[in-house]
Amino acid sequence: MRLDKFLKVSRLIKRRTVAKDVSEQGRVWINGREAKPASAVKVGDELTVRFGQKQVVVRVERLAETTRKDEAGGLYTILREEWLNERDGDA
């Protein structure tokens, strides 16, 4: 499944266009490598998403073409949520 679609279906990011923009800005990594919107996401992958000064690391548990809001959280497990220091910059 495409990264931008997974981010939207899982509700980590609300809209696919926003997921695409975030990926293009270099704010999403798959297994430690910078990812583009069309990058493939597989079960077991570790995704890191940067939201401003917050970084969230999740493990993909399952894939689905569509999901209801109350089921979206079952697509991933949150491994870590970190607040980044100002000196960390945009890395």
- Looking at residue 40, its pLDDT comes to 97
Q: What's the rounded Cα separation, in Å, for the pair 62 and 60?
A: 6
User: What mean pLDDT do residues 28-40 have?
Assistant: 97
Confidence of residue 29 (pLDDT cuts 50, 70, 90): very high
pLDDT surpassing 80 at residue 51 = yes
Q: What's the rounded Cα separation, in Å, for the pair 56 and 26?
A: 14
In order of start, what are the domains of the chain with their CATH numbers? 3-88 (3.10.290.10)
Q: What's the rounded Cα separation, in Å, for the pair 91 and 89?
A: 6
Residue matched to tokens 């109350």: 70
Q: What's the rounded Cα separation, in Å, for the pair 83 and 20?
A: 23
- Looking at residue 85, its pLDDT comes to 80
Looking at every residue in the chain, the average pLDDT score rounds to 93
User: What mean pLDDT do residues 37-54 have?
Assistant: 96
